[in-house]
Structures are given as C-alpha cells and as structure tokens.
Copies of this chain bind each other. A is one copy, B any other.
Amino acid sequence: MKAFVTGCAGFIGSTLTDRLLANGDAVVGIDNFSTGQRRFLADASQRTRFSLIEGDLLDTGRLTEAMRGCDAVFHLAANADVRFGTENPRRDLEQNTIATYNVLEAMRVNGIQRIAFSSTGAVYGDAVVIPTPEDAPFPIQTSFYGASKLAGEGLIAAYCEGFGFRSCIFRFASILGERYTHGHVFDFYRQLKADSMHLRVLGDGKQRKSYLYVQDCIDAILLAMDRNESKVNIFNLGVDAYCKVDDSIGWICESLGLKPQIEHTGGDRGWVGDSPFIYLDISKIRALGWSPKFGIRESVIKTVEYLRQNEWVFHQRK
C-alpha cells in the first residue's frame, strides 16, 4: 500500500508513519510543521519508501498533486488543542473542517477512496450516557474543537454516500506516549521543571478523563482500516477505565520523585469547552479483536519517561 499521511510529523502521525514503513508500506507524508517536529521523522527519512511534502492542507493545488498515486489516506493533521478554541475559533474551522474538505476533494480528484480520520471523544460534548457508545444520543457541542471535528466527520460520511468512499472515523480519548507534545502531562511536566515545589491545576482536579497509549491507538487504526466493511465505520478508541486529573498528577509526581504543593483553580471544568467526564465505550473496536495493551497509569508514566529523555520538545513548541 502507498499511504498518504497528513500531519506526518505530529505525535500520532509520525508514529503511524513509522509503523506503516516498518510494515513494508510506502508513505507520502505531508506536514506544515506548525506543531510537527522534524526529529520525529528522523527514522522515516532514512527510508526510500518515505517521501515528505512540506505543505499546508489549505494549499489545495499542492495537496492534490502530493496525493497522486496513493491508495489510502490517513488524515491526522489538525489543530489538536481543544483548549484555545475561544481565542481563535477560525483556526479550528480552517485547520480541521476546511482542511478535511480539501483532503476529501483531493482524494476525489485522484480517485482515492479509503480514508482514516482522527476524530475525538470531544464530539460527545457533555455526554449523557457514560461510558459513551458511538451511537449515543445526538450530542450538543461544547467546544470549537469538537464542533470542527464533527463537521469533518459529516463531510467524510457525505463523501462516502456521494462518491463511494470508505472511511474509518476514530473518536479518540486523549492519547499518551512517546512524542507526546501537548496536553496535561506536558503542561504539568513543564511547570514542575520550572518550579518543582508548586503545581497549578486548571479546574478542581476531579475532572475524569480516559487515556490511550499511542501504540495501542495505531494498532486499532491499522486493524480497523484492514477490516472495515461498511461505508462509514466509526470507532471509539480508549481504554475501559478513567482517572481523575489528581490521580494523574499523583503518577507524574511519583514518577519524577516530587511532592509539589498543588493549587487547584477550582470549578468542574479546566477551561471553556472542557468536559468534566470523558469515558468512551470501546466495545465496538474490541469486537474486531483489538484490546489496549497498556493502562492509564502505565501510559502516563511512559509519557513522563519520554519527556524526561526528550526535554528538547519543550523548547520547540511555539
């Protein structure tokens, strides 16, 4: 297979790229390096089966040309920060919704019909059924990020119905592991690096979240793409567990050997659009034979270990 990976220099995109190459596939990757890291492509770049296009998904001409001759698209490029939606709503619209439209149009022009898409559990808003299955009651969006990903899902489904595409749409829990470069473990680690005695936590620390290890995530994506049978295949990806933010802080501090004083800013949400409880029902992807190899605590600790060995990531971020 010749795969086209958008966001190939990102956390999940680069991990997927490495796995595809290891499996013997060819990969054409595209990234605008807004948050992607060249170092994540160090191994991939050694392979003759890998080619890198430096470009933005809003540049439709370049995108369409880059995709030529590929068999399937893994669309992982996105503004992945749920937190700053109100500061820049246009970014989610452009980078997530319009970019997804551009990817689909480029596929249509090139006659490519298989797509994997990184959506998010945030599309469930404040879920009323927990653990939340894929066919939960029609949700009301609470974040620009969730809304922009929901719009992407809708576009993909319309292309499947209208143009015979086949898709796997993955609604991710928060992903952790090597190359992790944003999110709560990143933020807490950075704070503790600056001041190991104090940690400021958005919200009351009781928000309940679910996390998945990145290699487990890639396993699920590849399995589902191999097996997908209907036009639109939607899968939650997570683990059968959740933890409180304070639990996660405990593991991070334990892992670093620190005992900081913890200051909670209060409130049941860390920021506008934050969901106090995210916990996805993963029985649908489990039914394909997949199960996560790592639990939340292990994933948090692996992430801390990665950051400890790769403190350069804190200096790269814009």
Which residues of A come within 8 Å of B, CB atoms?
Answer: 85-86, 89-90, 93, 97-98, 101, 104-105, 125, 128, 134-144, 146-148, 150-151, 153-155, 157-159, 161-163, 232, 234, 272-273
Contacts and interface: CB of A to CB of B under 8 A. Distances in A.
A91 to B, nearest CB: 12
A276 to B, nearest CB: 13
A105 B94 CA distance: 14
Nearest to A230: B140
A272 B141 contact: no
Contact of A157 (B104, B105, B141, B234): B141
Contact of A142 (B89, B144, B161, B163): B161
Contacts of A151: 97, 147, 150-151, 154-155
A147 B140 contact: no
Contact of A158 (B85, B104, B159): B85
A158 B144 contact: yes
Contacts of A98: 93, 98
Given A101-B93, A162-B273, A134 B142 contact: no
Given A97-B97, A105-B89, A140-B232, A273 B135 contact: no
27 contacts: A86-B162, A89-B105, A93-B98, A93-B155, A128-B135, A134-B138, A136-B137, A137-B137, A137-B138, A140-B157, A140-B234, A141-B155, A141-B158, A141-B161, A142-B158, A143-B158, A144-B155, A144-B158, A146-B158, A147-B154, A147-B158, A150-B150, A150-B151, A151-B154, A151-B155, A161-B272, A162-B272
Contacts of A157: 125, 140-142, 147
A104 B150 CA distance: 18
Nearest to A132: B138
